[in-house]
């Protein structure tokens, strides 16, 4: 019996084709994907296509679209063996991270992919990404899904979605997972590294927690920055600071006073690193101790994309009793190193 995969097309470069008269890219009717890619009919799985009514550039993807995708997976969860989401590359890591928190008790593959060149381009990377993603989305052993998490497949590598970032707008190898090893790699053989795969708590039934707060602010610290600007910003629930190295910031009484004032207003402060690899370690350097003194929360080795979506999911979420800090510093679905 062939496995059934539901392909959800949201938009992005992968669904574009070039108008050779104008030279511009335009979306094609993804319902005709089997004509564009007859190879899909040779797959060892059945593919069913659900395109968004209006394909979206990935810069237009946000909380409402995340909820639509999550709820559509929930609605069709029992009818399909796996799910493949085609998505624009610029914000794919945000969507993958958000879905990893929203899809509770997930025991089927949710694979995301896209491409750097349109599917109709002669040199496109879209076809390999799409076909191999379908293999991963339909991969089962002993009637159990091999992948039971949200993952991104791109340029021969399968990565945990909430560990990824897009690091190149030019190369086909556009995604990295700097603080977690790959889940699998495709070559002559389709490889999976089972020790790296995530498994959820077996007592949790599959459901969607669509709580997403947009009352989050992300700010990159830079030399010479005037923190006094923070006083002009309306109160937010969570302020995520992207700081230097392993957690340092310019140390002065004014810095501490400003950040303490923000904390006193009830805002949670999360600290993540500007470095692609590694993470936050309060106390390693004197200039990181300010964060301990004001009660800031270490984002440790989370990517900025994951820290943002995790904060959006957790803050004021009634399904997480207890403190925000307690849940933020805990690994919920493999997004942080224990």
How many helices (DSSP H) and strands (DSSP E) are in the chain?
8, 20
DSSP sequence for 104-131: ET--S-EEEE--SS-TTSTT-SHHHHHH
Q: State how far the Cα of 202 lies from the Cα of 187, in Å rounded to an integer.
A: 32
- Please enumerate in sequence order all residues whose Cβ is within 8 A of that of 194, keeping only pairs 6 or more positions apart, or say none: 146
The residues assigned a catalytic role are 13, 89
List, edge to edge, every strand of the sheet that includes 238-243: 216-220, 238-243, 268-273, 297-298
Cα Rg of the chain (Å, integer): 21
Residue positions forming the annotated binding site for substrate:
58, 89-90
Residue positions forming the annotated binding site:
58, 89-90
Sign of CA dihedral 316, 217, 306, 16: positive
Q: State how far the Cα of 126 lies from the Cα of 128, in Å rounded to an integer.
A: 6
Short-list 30, 29, 87, 17, CA closest to 57: 87
Contact (CB, 8 A) for 151 and 110: yes
Contact (CB, 8 A) for 86 and 49: no
């Amino acid at each position: 019996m062939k496995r059934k995969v539901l392909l959800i097309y949201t938009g992005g470069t992968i669904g574009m084709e070039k108008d050779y008269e104008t030279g511009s890219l335009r979306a094609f009717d993804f319902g005709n994907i089997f004509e564009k890619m007859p190879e899909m009919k040779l797959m060892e799985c059945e593919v069913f296509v659900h395109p968004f009514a209006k394909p979206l550039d990935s810069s237009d993807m946000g909380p409402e679209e995340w909820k639509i995708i999550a709820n559509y997976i929930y609605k069709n969860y029992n009818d399909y063996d796996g799910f493949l989401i085609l998505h624009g590359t610029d914000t794919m890591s945000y969507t993958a991270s958000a879905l990893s928190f929203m899809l509770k008790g997930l025991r089927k593959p949710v694979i995301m992919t896209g491409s750097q060149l349109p599917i109709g381009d002669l040199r496109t990377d879209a076809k390999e990404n799409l076909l191999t993603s379908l293999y991963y989305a339909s991969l089962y052993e002993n009637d159990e899904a091999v992948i039971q998490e949200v993952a991104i497949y791109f340029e021969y590598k399968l990565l945990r979605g909430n560990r990824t970032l897009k690091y190149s707008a030019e190369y086909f190898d556009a995604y990295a997972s700097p603080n977690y090893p790959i889940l699998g790699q495709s070559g002559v053989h389709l490889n999976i590294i089972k020790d790296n795969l995530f498994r959820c708590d077996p007592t949790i039934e599959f459901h969607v927690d669509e709580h997403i707060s947009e009352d989050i602010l992300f700010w990159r610290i830079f030399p010479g920055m005037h923190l006094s600007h923070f006083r002009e910003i309306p109160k937010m629930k969570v302020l995520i600071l992207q700081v230097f190295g392993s957690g340092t910031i310019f140390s002065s009484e004014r810095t501490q006073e400003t950040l303490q004032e923000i904390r006193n207003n009830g805002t949670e402060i999360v600290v993540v690193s500007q470095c692609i690899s590694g993470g936050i370690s309060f106390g390693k350097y004197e200039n990181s101790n300010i964060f301990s003194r004001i009660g800031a929360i270490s984002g440790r080795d989370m990517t900025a994309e994951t820290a943002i979506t995790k904060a959006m999911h957790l803050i004021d979420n009634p399904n997480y009793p207890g403190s925000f800090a307690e849940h933020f510093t805990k690994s919920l679905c493999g997004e942080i190193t224990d």
